[in-house]
A and B are shown apart, each in its own frame.
Chain A
Amino acid sequence: DGGITQSPKYLFRKEGQNVTLSCEQNLNHDAMYWYRQDPGQGLRLIYYSQIVNDFQKGDIAEGYSVSREKKESFPLTVTSAQKNPTAFYLCASSFSSGLNTEAFFGQGTRLTVV
């Protein structure tokens, strides 16, 4: 089945640790995105990538890093510099780099700082 797979579904992090969230897609999409979802704030764009080995900062990139070494994979690292990392993280992909086509979302990773 084609789709986007995020792992893990739940992740717990101690303060001061970096953690990496995985996102893999087998839809042959060029563009991939990471969003953060907090209650009452909708979906905020962290990073996006339109092609392999290239990515751009979104609206809330501070404290996060990404890589795009393969078309299928777009991992997100939440660094210790992110002051409030507890949130629901969503990865998405689409055919068009212009984003005016359907974006497909993964099932999300819920990150909790303990």
Chain B
Amino acid sequence: QQQVKQSPQSLIVQKGGISIINCAYENTAFDYFPWYQQFPGKGPALLIAIRPDVSEKKEGRFTISFNKSAKQFSLHIMDSQPGDSATYFCAASGADKLIFGTGTRLQVFP
């Protein structure tokens, strides 16, 4: 019930393409769904987040799509750039814990 399942484990995209990472959760008490971006040797940093009262949130090239009934949410990176190459983590939080997915390593080739 506390798990957040993330896929794919790794993703290779050409520059200018769309990167899509998917996550699914089980606990309906989760009420905050952030995405974090992590570069090698660094701590994760918040990229974008959504609450379950909206179905989509867009910030620049990054969009979260949220499907409450399916208990799924996804990150779309439009016009992917080599600088987007990093590991991406979805997460979900409820009363007192922030549960992370297992991460997706994104590589964007020029």
A interface, CB within 8 angstroms of B:
4, 6, 33, 35, 40-45, 48, 50, 56, 58-59, 90, 92, 97-108
Contacts of A42 in B (CB 8 A): 6, 89, 100-103
8 Å CB contact of A40 from B41, B94, B98, B102:
B102
Min C-beta distance of B6 to chain A, whole Å? 8
8 Å CB contact of A99 from B43, B93, B102:
B93
8 Å CB contact of B42 from A4, A50, A104, A107:
A107
- Chain B window 32-49, contacts with chain A (Cβ cutoff 8 Å), 1 for yes, 0 for no: 101010000111111001
B31 on the interface (CB 8 Å rule)? yes
Residue in B closest to A50 when the chains form the complex, CB atoms: B96
* Interchain residue pairs with CB less than 8 A apart (6): A90-B44, A100-B94, A101-B32, A102-B34, A103-B46, A105-B45
B interface, CB within 8 angstroms of A:
2, 6, 9, 31-32, 34, 36, 41-46, 49, 51, 89, 93-103
**A43 CA to B102 CA in the complex, in Å?**
7
Contacts of A41 in B (CB 8 A): 102
Tell me whether B101 and A48 are in contact (CB under 8 A): no
New contact pairs (8) apart from A48-B97, A99-B94, A104-B46, CB-CB < 8 Å: A40-B9, A41-B102, A99-B97, A100-B94, A102-B49, A107-B43, A108-B42, A108-B43
Contacts of B100 in A (CB 8 A): 35, 42-44
Number of A-B contacts (CB under 8 A): 65
Known interface pairs A40-B102, A42-B103, A43-B89; A98-B44 also in contact (CB < 8 Å):
no
**A97 CA to B95 CA in the complex, in Å?**
8
Residue in B closest to A100 when the chains form the complex, CB atoms: B32
**A35 CA to B44 CA in the complex, in Å?**
11
Min C-beta distance of A93 to chain B, whole Å? 11
**A95 CA to B94 CA in the complex, in Å?**
15
Min C-beta distance of B68 to chain A, whole Å? 16
Tell me whether A106 and B43 are in contact (CB under 8 A): yes
